[in-house]
Structure 1
Amino acid sequence: MNLKNLFRWFHEQLQNYNLFIPDENDYEDENDEPKDPIIILKQQRYATRLYVFLLIITLYVLFIVALIHPQTRIITVSNITPSLFKQLRIEYGETLRCPCSTTTVSYGEFVSNTIIFHPVCSSIFVSQEWIEALYLSNASAFLVMDFRTTANSQFELLAKLCLFSQETILQAQLDLNNSQLVTVELLSENEIQSQIDVSVELAQTSTPVQATLSLHFLQLATRLNSFVSALNTNAAINVYLIAQYVVWAAGFTKYNDENATNAASQITSCDLINSVVPAGFYLSSYEDSTNYHWNWPISPPDFEPIPSAMVDGFFGGCYPLDALLASTLDCLFNNSCLQLLGNYFPALNQTNLTFINALSPSKQQNVSLDNLLNNLLVEEWSTKIDYPTYFSKCNPKLCTYTEKDQTNVAYMTTLLLSLYGGLIIIFRLISVASIKIAFKFKFRFINTNSGTTHHMTYIRRFVHWAKQLNMFKLVTHKTPTDIKQQRITTRVYLILLA
């Protein structure tokens, strides 16, 4: 056999190839009229070609999908150490899973906090010795803006605010240490640090809010209830002897704003607005201080005192608390200013306070105490985690991760074999039905003289064909009951296959 005959034989085999030749168990159980054998054979060959085409294309697509689709495998690793976990996390990323033996760990067991307060809170300026040295028995006799009037009260308040801030932060730290970190799976060091940072930031922002609200409420309540300061700063009581009669004069002091834009806002009473002015030392006589105590810092045109010295960063005002909150404490960072205080507070020169050094430079200089209290006088709050301790508390027994294989012959073979049986049944049905429908449409256009046939005719024929479909024909079982059971079995099989 030469090559030409071989090609001719191969062509004839392909042309005559027929997968739909009835076998010995096939028989006609339909009530249709006899059909032309030539047309039936032609339909069978076309159906065979369509079937082979669909099967080859589908198997090819499945093969390509199986080839390029990575196959995943779950790998289990035991005896986990921090270094091994770090290495696996770098290699396998988010697919790594390490269940914790203990799902809750207290922050205090592996988190340490370092909190640095404003330097004034750890200085001698909040000590009882310093506060007592600033006490003057006649403090109320000085002008409102004279630092000697409120110095003792301001530093006593400053000490209380430092103590209050430290206790509040300590409680917040205890609450944070008692908080539970819930981790079902082992977290990396960066993930733990991120969670801790969020918790600490929440504590830093929420803790001062309640404290500052209480402080500002105290300010407002003091003014609205017209509480009178014993230092005669917001109100004054004067006693006069007129014609052998004792006359009492009492009222709120008034702030005279020489920079006011209009007369209505120039003078404000301390029962309405908490006003403050820079503090200094004034060498006014006792008589002038008494007569002009009502209006401060000036009472033009008769009384416009000039300070002999100013106290940097400190204020005087209606209440010592108002003055302190407006202060920036600059004098405490300046040795020259501190030496100046000794000239006006004699007790400072009679104790060990003579050689006091100024505060070390702070990150928050030139910031008012009111703003400093927004952080409860905290300059720095840093956290450090002990990851090995957290790891031991979590105590993972094993880890799992997912590995991907780009090419897996066994997987491809299993996939194709599992789908092959179902595909050949589906494509056989599709091929036969498609060819029959195509031939019906072909005859419809050829037989134009036979009249127009309604589309419902073909639908009824298709429904009839579906009802007559029988994939379980047996020559030995051809009774009407057998055929009915075979058709029902066919429908159930197709439903389950779908």
Structure 2
Amino acid sequence: MAETIAHDRMNRFKQLRDYIRKINFFNDAETTSVIDQLFATRIVIFLMTIALIIIITWASLTIQTHSVTIPSPSETIFKQLSVRYPNTLSCRCTQTSIHHHQFLSFDPQYHPICTSQFISHLFISALSKINISDYYISDYRIIVSSHFQLLKLLCETVKQMIDDSLFIFDSKYFTTTQVLSIEKFEAQINQLIKQLKSTTMTDMKHTSDYLGLIIFQNGIYSALQTKYRIQYTPNSNTYSQPSNEYNTLITTCSCETNAACVSQAELYYFQGYFLGNSSTADRIKLMYFLGRIFSIPGMMVGCSPYSSLLQSSLQCFYDQSCIQQMQTFIHGFSLLSPLSSSHFQPDATIENLLNELFIDSWNEKRNFSAYFDICSPLSCTYTYDRRFNLLHIIVTIISLFGGVQMTVFFIAPFIVKIIRRCQKCKRQCNRSDNLSTETELETNSNQSKFLFLYGYRFLVEEFVL
């Protein structure tokens, strides 16, 4: 059975081979022999096969760019397309100018000090009842009310400035002709937020620097006598105005030469001034009893309440035990509870808080869906590149095959003629070579015969004579 199948296959193969051998595309050519016609047919088949391979390879490897348009795409479809075709996707907006507040909003979260009881009217009013004449000139209780009034003013100023900045920011337009991808949208929003923060912080710093410059340049004295104190000399009935000095860890600083002098805020036991006679002379002497009671962590006193506040920190007011110690000497602190935690460090200075606008978080809310709905693209167009497109390969073969076929059928007989002529020339050359070889051999044979006869005659004559 197996031998029969193999024999049938061999017969079919031989029939196919014989059929292929008998294929003749030029059987109508009367001027060409059958052998040349078959030879030309083989050339046509060979060249057409090579051409077909080249055409298929070229069409398969060629990159085709396809363009697709999707009408009225949804946000979901847009997101999918922006991921798959980020470089070629194009969706034109129907509304190119959009107010910032339509897709971006802020809810600033301020430092706890700006929402605490420390800047409440009740607390500041309680501090204002302190009689400063009862305390030593460097006692913190003299300027404690001014510090918290300034804190209240700074918080209110910052809030008002941020509200104004946000109002201006919301009224501006965000302009885009094309719908932005989520990544580009986020990048643009980050840039807008960064610009808003930078502008507002710069304005606040300019305001703070301008305020400090006005105080310094105009030589404004505090009524609390933090920079200069008025000193009365009883025996001469005169008044003097010496500058205050503040002791730091390194050196002593005088307000006469440096308006930013500060030292640690402290509470003192102070019995008061009284007049007494000197033991060595009959002159009157001003005397007082003084003792340090408590150092307030983070708080500073200095030449002006404003400059000392900027260099202070709220470290004490995060700690319940520190507030309780303050309650012992300043009754207004009994109204307070500790500050809650924030992203600022407890030992951050008020100047650092002010430079950051007392903001813990801007709490910005970005709404890409609102932006997309307002932009409302009518259509989205994207392009993509593709290889091995079967339809493109078929179309290319159909478009090129006819021209290639005509060319091959035209040149095949000429190729046969050229080959035949080359073969004819080669045969003629071989015949010429063979003829010249035979002539040379005949010449050599005649010469040998002549030499033999001449030699024989010479020998005979020599011996006979």
Q: TM-score, normalised by structure 1?
A: 0.64
Show CA shifts across 1:210-260 (max 9, x none).
211221232233223322110010011122232xx5201013222344623
Aligned to 1:269: 255
Aligned to 2:271: 285
Match of 1:90 among 60, 83, 94: 83
What letter is aligned with 2:150?
L
Aligned to 1:345: 330
In the aligned structure 1, how far is the partner of 2:205 from the partner of 2:98?
32
Q: Percent identity?
A: 25
Aligned to 2:307: 322
Aligned to 1:409: 393
Task: Give how far 1:357 is off.
Answer: 1.6
Where structure 1 has 5 or more consecutive residues not aligned to the other structure, the ranges are 18-52, 261-265, 289-301, 425-498
In the aligned structure 2, how far is the partner of 1:342 from the partner of 1:188?
58
Show CA shifts across 1:17-39 (max 9, x none).
9xxxxxxxxxxxxxxxxxxxxxx
Q: Note closer, same or farther for the CA distance 1:231–1:58 as it changes in structure 2 (3 Å cut).
A: farther
Answer whether contact 2:259 2:304 (CA < 8 A) is retained.
no
What letter is aligned with 1:254?
E
Q: Note closer, same or farther for the CA distance 1:203–1:274 as it changes in structure 2 (3 Å cut).
A: same
What letter is aligned with 2:368?
Y
Aligned to 1:354: 334
What letter is aligned with 1:337?
C
Aligned to 1:128: 121
Q: Note closer, same or farther for the CA distance 1:355–1:215 as it changes in structure 2 (3 Å cut).
A: closer
Q: Note closer, same or farther for the CA distance 1:419–1:216 as it changes in structure 2 (3 Å cut).
A: farther
Task: Give how far 1:194 is off.
Answer: 2.3
What letter is aligned with 1:77?
I
Answer whether contact 1:279 1:311 (CA < 8 A) is retained.
yes
In the aligned structure 2, how far is the partner of 1:8 from the partner of 1:219?
112
Answer whether contact 2:271 2:288 (CA < 8 A) is retained.
no
Task: Give how far 1:306 is off.
Answer: 4.6
Counterpart secondary structure, 1:93: coil
In the aligned structure 2, how far is the partner of 1:401 from the partner of 1:327?
59
Aligned pairs for 1:155-166 (under 5 A) are: 155-166=148-159
In the aligned structure 2, how far is the partner of 1:115 from the partner of 1:200?
12
In the aligned structure 2, how far is the partner of 1:128 from the partner of 1:100?
52
Show CA shifts across 1:71-92 (max 9, x none).
1121111131111212222333
What letter is aligned with 2:396?
M
Answer whether contact 2:85 2:382 (CA < 8 A) is retained.
yes
In the aligned structure 1, how far is the partner of 2:141 from the partner of 2:309?
13
Check if 1:367 corresponds to 2:348: yes
Aligned to 2:281: none
In the aligned structure 2, how far is the partner of 1:122 from the partner of 1:184?
43
Match of 1:211 among 197, 204, 216: 204
Task: Give how far 1:379 is off.
Answer: 0.8
Match of 1:199 among 192, 202, 205: 192
In the aligned structure 1, how far is the partner of 2:40 from the partner of 2:400?
27
Task: Give how far 1:303 is off.
Answer: 10
Task: Give how far 1:126 is off.
Answer: 0.7
Check if 1:307 corresponds to 2:292: yes
In the aligned structure 2, how far is the partner of 1:12 from the partner of 1:419?
21
Q: Matched residue pairs, number?
A: 362
Counterpart secondary structure, 1:114: coil
Q: TM-score, normalised by structure 2?
A: 0.68
Answer whether contact 1:147 1:279 (CA < 8 A) is retained.
yes
Bigger radius of gyration among the two = 2
What letter is aligned with 2:36?
W
Counterpart secondary structure, 2:183: helix
